[in-house]
Amino acid sequence: MEFCLNDYTYCQNAKHWQSTLLQTTIINKEIALDFNQVRYFLALADSLNFTRAAERCHVSQPALTQAIKRLEYELGGELLKRDGRNTELSDLGHNLRQHFEQIDRTRSLVHATAKAVMTGELSELNIGLMCTIGPRILAGMLETFQGLHPKISIVLHDVTPETIPDLLLSGSVDGVFCARHDAPDARMRYFDLFTEPMVVAVSKGHALTNMDVVPLDEITKHPYIDRLHCEFRQEVLGLYKDRKLELNVVFRSQREDWIQSLVREGRGVSCIPRYSILSSEIDYRPISDPDLSRVLGFALANQKQASPSLELLIEHLRNHNWPS
């Protein structure tokens, strides 16, 4: 399953392969593994019996024994402790079992995906993602969906609020993760996923971290970084204007990564959706007077029949454990 975002392609399978290669570099030695060795070891780890493991893998016991010995030689240590008729995993075997299971899962996924491509069973979903929605919450959900449906490829498209209706109605995208703000468009249907609070993001050790909550008038006392793509920007600026407050804007940007970098470096503070904060070096506090939040949901074209793949994604979204 592949996730593509703008000109950056994130291939989940490649991620697993990279992890696998890293895990096969042990004690500064490159390990040459084959899938059969991994399969034999896992069968032996489950059964702790060479005869049953060989039967399970449909090979002779001597062939399995020799494969395990070659694997131990490559790794530089024993994977099993043999004491007469008793066999158990060594410390090395215990520590590597989880990594071998991951390699085996990757093998199965690669085979299933290759078969789906060759037989035309692989389907693709084009999903819009508003540029102000961070990956923190959605990434885990999409990874779970990938594990359940490896034959569905998802391409993520960066979209802005004003382009969403045309993209959905034209069929350019199948669905959109978005924040509902204006009155709902009758040509589209929505279902809500979770509510996300708006917070004031600050650098570590900033003066505002001494407060439990931050009122709007307190934010005006500090340099401010203006998020030009924020769907609530005009509403927030209107609140300041109504209260005769003026923000001390020092930077404006459409780029969320730049905004957070400037905040992290202490160049200013910014009002940001809670789950869009990516860096652990950025602190935040809730905003009060008034409390600000947005509802994130999934939008579809109202009159279009959802494909089977899209129905599976919708079902997954409905059943996912979103933050309360």
pLDDT, tens digit, for every residue of 119-173? Answer: 666 788 999 998 888 888 899 999 999 888 888 889 999 888 888 999 999 999 9
- 11 versus 152: the higher-pLDDT residue is 152
Q: How far, in Å, CA of 175 to CA of 309, rounded?
A: 11
- 84 versus 255: the higher-pLDDT residue is 255
Q: Tell me, yes or no, whether 6 lies in a domain.
A: no
Which phi and psi (to 5°) does residue 88 adopt?
A: -145, 160
18/96 same-domain check = yes
184/244 same-domain check = no
CATH number at residue 43: 1.10.10.10
Q: Tell me, yes or no, whether 4 lies in a domain.
A: no
100/210 same-domain check = no
* Alpha-carbon separation of residue 48 from 4, 19, 85, 89 (angstroms): 43, 27, 10, 8
Residue 299 has what pLDDT? 95
Residue 32 has what pLDDT? 61
183/278 same-domain check = no
Provide the domain limits for residue 259: 196-293
Average pLDDT, whole number, for the chain?
A: 84
32/166 same-domain check = no
Give the pairing type, strands 282-288 and 214-215: parallel
Closest to 158 in 3D by CA, of 180, 194, 129: 129
- % of the chain surpassing 70 pLDDT: 86
pLDDT, tens digit, for every residue of 31-78? Answer: 567 888 999 999 999 999 999 999 999 999 999 999 999 999 888 899
Domain end point (choices 88, 116, 144):
116
- % of the chain surpassing 90 pLDDT: 49
Most trustworthy range by pLDDT among 17-21, 187-191, 228-232: 187-191
Helix axes 35-47, 61-75, angle to 10 degrees: 110
pLDDT, tens digit, for every residue of 171-182? Answer: 999 999 998 766
Residue 294 CA to its chain's centroid (Å)? 21
Residue 30 has what pLDDT? 54
Residue 303, pLDDT > 60, answer yes
178/94 same-domain check = no
pLDDT, tens digit, for every residue of 202-222? Answer: 999 999 999 999 998 999 999
Residue 98, pLDDT > 60, answer yes
Q: Tell me, yes or no, whether 131 lies in a domain.
A: yes
Sign of CA dihedral 157, 162, 168, 171: negative
Mean pLDDT computed over 193-204: 93
Do 17 and 169 contact (CB within 8 A), yes or no? no
Domain count of the chain? 3
Q: Tell me, yes or no, whether 8 lies in a domain.
A: no
Q: Tell me, yes or no, whether 5 lies in a domain.
A: no
Residue 316, pLDDT > 90, answer yes
* Alpha helix stretches (DSSP H) within 29-90: 35-47, 50-57, 61-75
* Alpha helix stretches (DSSP H) within the chain: 12-23, 35-47, 50-57, 61-75, 91-119, 135-148, 164-170, 216-219, 233-242, 256-264, 308-319
188/44 same-domain check = no
Residue 6 has what pLDDT? 38
Residue 17 has what pLDDT? 37
pLDDT, tens digit, for every residue of 72-84? Answer: 988 889 999 988 7
Domain end point (choices 116, 135, 156):
116
Residue 294, pLDDT > 80, answer yes
Do 129 and 157 contact (CB within 8 A), yes or no? yes
Give the pairing type, strands 8-11 and 2-5: antiparallel
